[in-house]
Chains A and B, each alone.
Chain A
Amino acid sequence: MSEEQIKNLEEQFEARIARDEKIEPKDWMPEKYRQTHIRQISQHAHSEIVGMLPEGNWITRAPSLRRKVALLAKVQDEAGHGLYLYSACETLDISRDELYEQLHSGKAKYSSIFNYPTVTWADMGAIGWLVDGAAIINQVPLCSTSFGPYARAMVRVCKEESFHQRQGYEIMLKLCNGTPEQKEMAQDALNRWWWPSLMMLGPTDDMSVHTEQSMKWKLKRKTNDELRQQFIDQTVPQADILGLTIPDPDLKWNEERQSYDFGEIDWDEFWQVVKGHGPMNKARMKARVGAWERGEWVRDAAMAHAEKKATSLKKEVS
C-alpha cells in the first residue's frame, strides 16, 4: 500500500469512529490502534487477574460464612473479568501465551493498587468500596469505547461490579457499627487505601501522555482529573454515613465549584510503585508466576487426555 492509500484509510477509519461506528477485529485498523488496544486491554486483564491476590488472602479467614461466599464470588468474578478481557485482546492477533509471558516477565503493567498489602479484614471492605468504586468510574465510559470486543466485555464487567462495591461497603458499615476496635480497624483501612485509590485514576492531566489520542478512540471519555473529582465527590458523603474521616486535612467542600477541594497526591509514591518498588510487587508476581508454573502439569495432562480421546474416536470411526 502506498503512503497516500494508508493516509486515506486512516482518515476513513477516524471518521468511522467519530460517527460512533464500532471497529471489529477483522476490520482494517492503523497499527497504532491495534498496539494501543493490545496494551490497554491486556493491562486491564492483568489487573483483574493480579487483583484476585490481595483479596484471595482473606477468603479462608472471612469472619462468617456469609462474608466468605460473597468474597469468594467476588474473586471468581474478577477471574471472569480477566478472561473476558484476555479473549477480547486475543481478537487483535496476539496469543494468550504471549500475553501471559508479558505479565510474567514484567514487561506488561497492571494496576499499581494491587501492590499494597491486605493486613486486616477491614481491607476487604475498603477494597470493595474504594478500589472497585474507582474501577467502576474508570470502566463505565469504556462500555461505549470504539473497539467492539472491548466494549462488549466492559458491559458484562460493569454489570457485575456493583455487587463488588456494595459487599465492600457493607463490610465497612458493619465494622463502623461495631465495637470501637472494629471502627478503628475500618478507619485504619480507609487511611491506607484512600490515597492509592485516588492514584488509581491515573496521573494528572498535565502528566498524562496518552489522553488526546485516547479521547479520539473513545478509550477515554473524561480526563483522569475529571474522573478523580467524580470519585471524590461521590465517596466523601459515603464516608460521612460510615462516620469515618477521609485522611486528607485539605479536603473541603467548595461552594463555588460544587465539588470537593482536596490535598496534594504523593506522585513519587505512585511512580515508585509503578516501577516495581511497592510493598507487594515482588510477592504478587511470585504468587502469580508460581501458580502458573505449578499448574503446568495439569494443563499438559488435560491436553494429552484430549488428544488421546480424539485419536481413539478417529479409530472407532474408521
Chain B
Amino acid sequence: MSNKKNWPLWEVFVRSKNGLEHRHFGSLHAADAEMALENARDVYTRRNEGVSIWVVESKHITASNPEHNGELFEPAQDKVYRHPTFYDLPDDVKHM
C-alpha cells in the first residue's frame, strides 16, 4: 500500500425534486469538491434521481455518539405537554 495522499471521502446529499429536502445518498472519493459533484452525478443520479446535489467532505461532519443517546435525548422524553394529546378538552369542542 502506498503512503501517499488518497482522494478524500465526501458525503453526497441529493434533492430528488423541488419541494423536497436534500437527503443523504451515500459517499464517494474525489480529489476536490468539483470532482465530487461530477462523480456524485455519475454514481447517484444516473436515472434522474436528483435536481440538486450537495457534497461535503466527510471529515467536516460532526456526529453525535449513539452511546450518549441517553443523556442527549433524555430531556425530550418527559415533556408530554409538548404534544396536543396532553390537553383535556370536552368532546364537543370542534376544529381543535
Q: Which residues of A contact B (CB under 8 A)?
A: 24, 26-28, 73, 76-77, 80, 83-84, 87-88, 90, 95-98, 101, 152-153, 160, 299-300, 302-303, 305-307, 309-310
- A76 and B46 in contact, given A27-B66, A303-B31, A305-B31 (Cβ under 8 angstroms): yes
Interface centre among A24, A76, A83 (most CB of B within 10 A): A83
Contact: A153 with B7, CB < 8 Å?
no
Cβ 8 A contact of B35, one of A80, A83, A87, A302 = A302
Cβ 8 A contact of B1, one of A98, A299, A310 = A98
For the A-B complex, the count of residue pairs with Cβ-Cβ distances under 8 Å equals: 57
- Is B16 in the interface zone, CB < 8 Å from A? no
Q: Which residues of B contact A (CB under 8 A)?
A: 1, 4-7, 9, 26-29, 31-32, 35, 42-43, 46-47, 63, 65-67
Contact partners of B46 in chain A: CB under 8 A: 73, 76-77, 80
Give chain B nearest CB distance to A89 CB in angstroms.
11
Contact: B31 with A26, CB < 8 Å?
no
Docked Cα-Cα span, A305 to B33, in Å, equals 12
Contact partners of A303 in chain B: CB under 8 A: 4-7, 31
B47 nearest CB neighbor, chain A only: A160
Contact: A96 with B6, CB < 8 Å?
yes
Contact: A90 with B28, CB < 8 Å?
no
Contact: B67 with A28, CB < 8 Å?
yes
Interface centre among B4, B26, B29 (most CB of A within 10 A): B26
Contact: B27 with A87, CB < 8 Å?
yes
Contact: A153 with B26, CB < 8 Å?
yes
B4 nearest CB neighbor, chain A only: A300
Supply 4 further A-B pairs (C-beta < 8 A) apart from A80-B43, A302-B32: A28-B67, A90-B9, A97-B6, A303-B31
Give chain A nearest CB distance to B15 CB in angstroms.
17
Interface centre among A28, A299, A305, A307 (most CB of B within 10 A): A299
- A24 and B66 in contact, given A303-B7, A309-B32 (Cβ under 8 angstroms): yes
Docked Cα-Cα span, A309 to B46, in Å, equals 29
Docked Cα-Cα span, A127 to B4, in Å, equals 39
Contact: A101 with B4, CB < 8 Å?
no
